[in-house]
């Protein structure tokens, strides 16, 4: 069941490169940085994920613990996750849905270590990114 909204992040894709194909399908690596709040705490949230365009045109993406979160008080944690998506227009805008998991060593956000976070991730054709997180109960 979908729980409380944990936060919202906004930012920008800062890099993109094409990787070797997977089973004949294109693979793209995307790096981004966002800022916003999670559980009322100001954070910077960055990561690099790779997505594969599957044969049916859908996308599968994952960030295997290549994400970093930093709270306003300087605590640095990591995150990993995966999701499925689709292109939303011909200019390359994408929409993903999935789950992420946090490893935060100390501070007010350590409660996230015990939560599966469900996300919506939208990136427009200019690389503007918006992420919304919910707790999965």
Write down the residue that tokens 């993903």 correspond to. Answer: 96
Q: What is the dihedral of CA 76, 118, 80, 88, to 10 degrees?
A: -110
Q: What percentage of residues in the chain have a pLDDT greater than 70?
A: 100
pLDDT score of 1 more than 80: no
- Residue 64 tokens read as 């295997």
Give residue-wise pLDDT tens across range 33-88: 999 999 999 999 999 999 999 999 999 999 999 999 999 999 999 999 999 999 99
CA angle 26, 32, 11 (to 5 degrees): 130
pLDDT at 130: 98
All domains of the chain in start order, with CATH: 2-136 (2.40.160.20)
Q: Quote the pLDDT of residue 42.
A: 98
Res 2: pLDDT: 85
């Amino acid at each position: 069941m979908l729980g409380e909204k944990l936060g919202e992040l906004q930012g920008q894709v800062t890099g993109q490169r094409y990787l070797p194909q997977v089973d004949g399908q294109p693979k793209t690596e995307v790096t981004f940085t966002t800022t916003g709040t999670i559980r009322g705490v100001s954070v910077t949230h960055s990561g690099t994920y790779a997505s594969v365009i599957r044969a049916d045109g859908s996308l599968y993406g994952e960030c295997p613990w290549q994400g970093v979160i930093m709270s306003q008080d300087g605590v640095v944690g990591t995150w990993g996750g995966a999701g499925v998506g689709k292109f939303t227009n011909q200019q390359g805008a994408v929409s993903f849905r999935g789950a992420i998991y946090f490893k935060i060593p100390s501070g007010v956000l350590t409660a996230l270590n015990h939560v599966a976070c469900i996300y919506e991730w939208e990136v427009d054709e200019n690389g503007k990114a918006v992420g919304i997180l919910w707790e999965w109960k």
